Amino acid sequence: MKRRDFLKTTTALMGGLAITGTGIGVAHADGHATPVSGGTLIWGHSETTQNLDMHQTGTASTGRLLQNVHESIVTTDKDLNVVPNLASSFEVSQDGLTYTFNLRDDVMFHTGAKMTSADVKYSFERCADPATGATNFEVFNAVESIDTPDDLTVIVNLSTVNAPFLSRLAENGAGVVMPMGSGDTQGDMPVGAGPFKFVRREFGNEVELERFDDYFDGPAYLDKIISREITEPTVRLTGLRTGELHMINDIPLDRMAEFEGNDDFQTVSWFPLNFDFVNFNHDFEPFKDARVRQAFDLMLDKETLMLGALWGQGTTSASPSFPTSASYNGDISQRGQDFERARALLAEAGYAPGELKVVFKVTTNYPYHVDSAQIMLEWFRQGGVDMTIEQLTWSDWLSQVWVDKDFQVTMMNFFTLWEPDFLYYSLYHSTGGFNYRKISEPALDEMLEKARITTDSAARMDIYKDVQTYINENTLDVILWFRNGTIGAQPNVMGLDTVVQPNGSEMNFHKVWLKDA
Amino acid sequence: MRGFLTAKGIIGGGIVVIVLLTALFAPLLIPDTWATQMDMRARLSGPTLAHPLGTDQLGRDLMYRMLLGAQTSIMIAGTAVLMSLVIGLPLGVISGYFGGWIDNVLMRLVDTLLAFPALLLALTISAVLGPNLTNTIIAIGIAFTPYLARIIRGEALRVAQMPYVEAARAVGTPDTLMIIRHVLPNIMPPVIVQVTISLAFAILAEAGLSFLGLGTQPPDASWGLMIQASRDFLDVAPLTALVPGAAVAITVLGLNMFGDVLRDVLDPRTQ
Amino acid sequence: MHYIANRLLSVAFTLLLISLITFLVTNILPGDVAMVIMGTQSNPEALAGLRESLGLNDPLIAQYGRWITGILTGDWGRSLVFKEAIGPLIADKVVASALIVVMSMCIALAAAIPLGIWAAVHRDKWQDNAASTTALFGVSLPDFFWGIMLILLFARYLGWLPSSGFVHPADDFVAAVRHAFLPSLALGLGLMAHLTRMTRSTMSSILSQEFIRVARAKGLTERTVIWRYALANAIGPVMTVAGLQVGYLFGSIIVIESLFNFTGMGWLTYQALLNRDIPLIQSTVFVIAAVVMLTNLVVDLLYAAVDPRIKLP
């Protein structure tokens, strides 16, 4: 993607989300509409929520819902700077080893209890405890002790410098504050300090949330949210069309064009929701040779692939860094399709056409991945690779590819990880938690370790830019694109521009209201 | 043989022959690439000169995919039913012919398996083995075995109780000879009818499994897979579902009609 | 009573076998629930901790023992992925599935009986062919294909019925039936074919019997003969076949419920399978097999009570 186009898109994102449709855009611009309280919003949610424990759940769908129930100790503004939330202020000591959080004294939990430093200590310790099985427990690896000198002060002492520590706390997964002792019941009855109380879940069917009147940032407008879990896209669309649903997330990609031109509905599309990449198993003999990886990269026409699989609902990119974040390296670019060079590289590496047999494992969890794989398959075959596809259910993909690392080529998406350490260390360090490709590059390891202990922010970001160049030059993965997120809604749903959170993947209904409530 | 010459027999038999010929010859006459060729400018298109039955979401020709899909569907269904016959026939014959405790044990097992709905069983097996062509066949084959075994056992039991069979046994004819000479020929007509009907069900089962993502794998064309892929595009491009749907419907209809006629001709007892 | 005692005993034995098969098969399922819970965020240490706390490291025998004792004592455990107690979860979902099973049965019978009679009365005429071809069409299309077509027609284009979801009959009966209607119709169309065929053959054999001829000779109208005399005798066998179709229905609901987002047993089983949620798979599969088994038992007993050839001394 060209730098200039990129900036254009970014501006659109920064200036608020691109909104089309009737009413809403105008109403907000004129400032005429005054929010009213009341009403129940019926949301067609694209996924089934699972374990409702914020610490344990690893699925984005569940996090998306719990975003409304929980609050984290700090959060980010739209430029992804860490800003106060449950803590009204925070300080980091000069040596980067001591974090002091001063808590607000007006935060109430849904239980009716007031939040104190003991709750924060409880939540952090619960997350850090391996027995909890928290997905983000490694955030607290360097934590030596947590002190609570008074009810409103929390001091976290680290044993070694961990530059990304504060940023990681801005996400609910690690930074969430739960009432003390609520851990055992969080799985089916989550309680937190968020704008909505969890009322009930009729499993697989719907979840009911209710306004929490004592929310520290002022009560929400909606009385209730009913989240209907409808995984079938056609059914979700039909529900919106017939008026059964006020709002749906994830409009099927091929329908966006049709919806955007339709005045009966509002659509919100934002960028980025997540990024996708093609992965090589670096332990598979042919892929140990960078020339082979590069040859595969050269067989792909990313723009056409994006148009084909995403129906244009995305933006190609050579870097997986969050596009508006300081770590994004805009100077690297994707390789264009060049079969001649690809074949030459393969020949150089010792593979005659048809000699290389490769299996592409892809999960049916993401139908557009299956489409992508089918398109790529044609190109790979054209490039002289004998490739077949294997479709896997989500759990099979996780077990074969993620854990057993038993694959040759695969494809995956990640919700945009705006914190670069989380992104690059986990994905590319030889010991990284997400390094399922068995990437082992000593030079890269060194850069990533250095970044972790670099407290100067600008210097740290420069290291990450070098990391991106390294990944690109050595074709460790083929980074494809950022995918757009989409929401469709009835005209009477107001405040849609506030729903999507800065990280692009979470949704919050605090400021949403219904015109005819 | 007059039964075949009814309207039902002609239509049913005709469909079966046409589908079989398609399954056999389409792959020889149509290059594989015609069904995988993508045309990004003509995605989800209606009928055109270039694509008489329209295209799918990747701009692939639905007609060629449907024709080539016949082979996949027929091959899977045929092999699966053959497999259930290979297991079910000896089980059923032994059980019905010998009776006694063997019968008791085998049929208790079969009854247990029958309590699992066939599709559930196939789904579970497919999940255990992992989805691919061979495993789909095995899953459907195992799931269908108890049904065939049950029917064959009933027939074998009937034959074994016939006076002339009992008489032959009384004079000491060896069991193997008895089974080959008397039991097998006599149970064949109902078994053939059942196999035809099972084929129809196996095609539906393959479609169901592929629909849930546990059957045939892309980019191979199979009717179930085509219907699965069409789900999201149904209201904008109904042909994506109608073309493979019609192929399944016509094939199964033909097999069922043919099965009915076979039953009339071969096995008049069960009118 | 000997017959009933015998049947019950064999049912108990079969249930035990079912539990064993279910348990063994689910334990050779590949994949790992601990991983599904953690998703792409999993890492070896967290996984190991989670596995231990889920009891996945215990020997198989111990796990089976724990499971079967739990089933018998009413403690069905918790779903690993969804954290919900399995017993109440299943009790809830069985209601949903029972609703569409019963409704589809009613729809199928309402269509199959008149169609079957019509075919039997006009045996070997065009009406017979038309009726059996219509019925065959019902069974020749996969039920999920019917489902898709029904969603398009009734929900998308006509807007008469909701396209998805389940409403509990106790909350709102009318809404419950409206939501269940399309999935039931999709299932009923497949079921209709078998029942039509059965009605046709039963009716035609009854219509050729002596007492029908006598009734006709006495000058009773054809309508009385068919609907009063013949149907009364045919209904038993037809209902038996209908009862035996419950097993078939429970297979079909897996696909149909997933399609309509109708959260019943079929949907739950599919979710459990997809997530490798072993305790949930075991319980759902076991319950479905047990329901099929017991329905067959009830049908058999009822049939025995009605049919004088099977003695109940």
Q: Do B218 and A364 touch (CB under 8 A)?
A: no
Phi, then psi, of A478 in degrees rounded to 5: -105, 105
Token pair, residue A23, equals 């009413």
| Spatial separation of the C-alpha atoms in residues C32 and C39, rounded to whole Å | 11
Nearest to A20 by CA among A265, A194, A221, A320: A265
**Which of B34, B38, B65, B210 is the best residue to mutate to test the A interface, defined by the most A CB atoms within 10 Å of its own CB?**
B38
Q: Do C290 and B245 touch (CB under 8 A)?
A: no
Shortest distance between the Cα of B15 and any Cα of chain C, in A, equals 13
| The residue count for chain C | 313
More confident call, C246 vs A67: A67
A-chain residue closest to B233, CA distance: A234
Is the confidence at residue A17, as pLDDT, over 50?
A: no
Interchain contact B10–C (C-beta under 8 A): no
**Which of A258, A368, A378 is the best residue to mutate to test the B interface, defined by the most B CB atoms within 10 Å of its own CB?**
A378
CA A281-A282-A284 angle, 5° bins: 70
B-chain residue closest to A237, CA distance: B232
Q: Do C42 and A235 touch (CB under 8 A)?
A: no
Token pair, residue A396, equals 């099979």
C-chain residue closest to A393, CA distance: C274
- What residue segments make up the domains of chain C, in order of their start? 2-73, 90-306
Q: Do B227 and C28 touch (CB under 8 A)?
A: no
Q: Say which range, A173-177, A491-495, B266-270, has the weakest mean pLDDT.
A: B266-270
Interchain contact B267–C (C-beta under 8 A): no
Using alpha carbons, list the distances in angstroms from residue C199 to A127, A209, A248, B196: 64, 51, 46, 22
Among B41-45, B132-136, B141-145, name the most confident range.
Answer: B141-145
Model confidence over A139-169: pLDDT tens digits? 898 899 999 999 999 999 999 988 889 988 9
* Cβ proximity of A208 and A65 under 8 Å: no
More confident call, C228 vs A47: A47
Q: Say which range, A21-35, A204-218, C129-143, has the weakest mean pLDDT.
A: A21-35
Interchain contact B109–C (C-beta under 8 A): yes
Model confidence over B230-242: pLDDT tens digits? 877 877 788 888 8
Using alpha carbons, list the distances in angstroms from residue B154 to A185, A355, B27, B50, B159: 55, 54, 40, 54, 9
Using alpha carbons, list the distances in angstroms from residue A81 to A168, A320, A321, A418, A503: 12, 19, 15, 10, 11
> Which DSSP state fits C277?
-
Give the residue-averaged pLDDT of B181-202.
Answer: 85
| Chain C positions in Cβ-Cβ contact with residue A48 (cut-off 8 Å) | 271
A-chain residue closest to C84, CA distance: A188
* Burial class of C221 by CB neighbour count within 10 A (0 to 12, 13 to 18, 19+): exposed
pTM given for the model: 0.79
Could you say which residues from 426 to 485 on chain A have a Cβ atom under 8 Å away from some Cβ of chain C?
A: 433-434
What confidence category does residue A28 fall into, taking pLDDT thresholds of 50, 70 and 90? very low
Number of neighbouring beta carbons within 10 Å of residue B108: 13
pLDDT for res A258: 77
* Residue of A173, A205, A403 with shortest CB distance to C165: A205
**Which of B6, B103, B108, B124 is the best residue to mutate to test the C interface, defined by the most C CB atoms within 10 Å of its own CB?**
B124
Q: Do A398 and C47 touch (CB under 8 A)?
A: no
Q: Do B236 and A258 touch (CB under 8 A)?
A: yes
Interchain contact A135–C (C-beta under 8 A): yes
Is the confidence at residue B143, as pLDDT, over 90?
A: no
On average, the pLDDT of chain C sits at 79
Question: What pairs with residue A92 in β-bridges?
Answer: A99
Q: Do B115 and C289 touch (CB under 8 A)?
A: yes
pLDDT for res A517: 67
* Residue of A52, A131, A229 with shortest CB distance to C83: A52
pLDDT for res C8: 81
In 3-state terms, what secondary structure has residue C210? Answer: helix
* Burial class of C95 by CB neighbour count within 10 A (0 to 12, 13 to 18, 19+): middle
Is the confidence at residue A129, as pLDDT, over 80?
A: yes
Shortest distance between the Cα of B201 and any Cα of chain C, in A, equals 9
pLDDT for res A510: 93
* Residue of A134, A232, A394 with shortest CB distance to C261: A232
Q: Do A398 and C35 touch (CB under 8 A)?
A: yes
| Spatial separation of the C-alpha atoms in residues A377 and A383, rounded to whole Å | 10
* Cβ proximity of A397 and A365 under 8 Å: yes
Nearest to A452 by CA among A431, A475, A438, A473: A431
Sign (positive or negative) of CA dihedral C23, C24, C30, C33: positive
Shortest distance between the Cα of B248 and any Cα of chain A, in A, equals 22
Could you say which residues from 104 to 133 on chain A have a Cβ atom under 8 Å away from some Cβ of chain C?
A: 130-133
What confidence category does residue A27 fall into, taking pLDDT thresholds of 50, 70 and 90? very low
* Residue of A51, A232, A396 with shortest CB distance to C164: A232
What would the DSSP string read from start to end of chain B?
-GGGGSHHHHHHHHHHHHHHHHHHHHHHHS-HHHHH---TTSTT--S-SS-TT-B-TT--BHHHHHHHHHHHHHHHHHHHHHHHHHHHHHHHHHHHHH-HHHHHHHHHHHHHHHTS-HHHHHHHHHHHH-SSHHHHHHHHHHHHHHHHHHHHHHHHHHHHTSHHHHHHHHTT--HHHHIIIIIHHHHHHHHHHHHHHHHHHHHHHHHHHHHTTSSS-TTS--HHHHHHHHGGGTTT-THHHHHHHHHHHHHHHHHHHHHHHHHHHH-GGG-
Q: Do A390 and B40 touch (CB under 8 A)?
A: no
| Chain C positions in Cβ-Cβ contact with residue A50 (cut-off 8 Å) | 37, 81-83, 275
Sign (positive or negative) of CA dihedral A35, A38, A42, A46: positive
* Residue of A56, A235, A241 with shortest CB distance to C164: A235
| Chain B positions in Cβ-Cβ contact with residue C17 (cut-off 8 Å) | 108-109, 112
% residues pLDDT > 90 (chain A): 54
Model confidence over C215-258: pLDDT tens digits? 777 777 777 777 777 777 777 777 777 877 887 788 788 888 88
Shortest distance between the Cα of A311 and any Cα of chain B, in A, equals 10
Q: What ipTM does this complex have?
A: 0.76
Q: Do C129 and B8 touch (CB under 8 A)?
A: yes
B-chain residue closest to C15, CA distance: B112
Spell out the long-range contacts of C157-162 with Cβ–Cβ below 8 A and sequence spacing 24 or more: C159/A242, C162/A239, C162/A242, C162/A244
Cα C221–chain centre separation: 39
CATH topology (fold) of C90-306 = MetI-like fold (1.10.3720)
Residues 6+ apart with CB under 8 A from C164: A230, A232, A235, A238, A239, C179, C260, C261, C262
pLDDT for res A190: 94
Question: What pairs with residue A315 in β-bridges?
Answer: A482
* Cβ proximity of A208 and A199 under 8 Å: yes
Model confidence over C131-190: pLDDT tens digits? 877 877 777 877 888 888 888 788 777 878 877 778 888 888 888 888 889 999 999 988
Residue with tokens 């629909």: B211
More confident call, A226 vs C70: A226
% residues pLDDT > 70 (chain A): 93
Give the residue-averaged pLDDT of A464-473.
Answer: 95
Shortest distance between the Cα of C172 and any Cα of chain B, in A, equals 30
pLDDT for res C37: 61
| Spatial separation of the C-alpha atoms in residues B234 and B230, rounded to whole Å | 6
Q: Do B120 and C269 touch (CB under 8 A)?
A: yes
Is the confidence at residue A2, as pLDDT, over 70?
A: no
| Chain C positions in Cβ-Cβ contact with residue A58 (cut-off 8 Å) | 37-42
What confidence category does residue A31 fall into, taking pLDDT thresholds of 50, 70 and 90? very low
| Spatial separation of the C-alpha atoms in residues A113 and A252, rounded to whole Å | 42
pLDDT for res A24: 32
Shortest distance between the Cα of B93 and any Cα of chain A, in A, equals 39
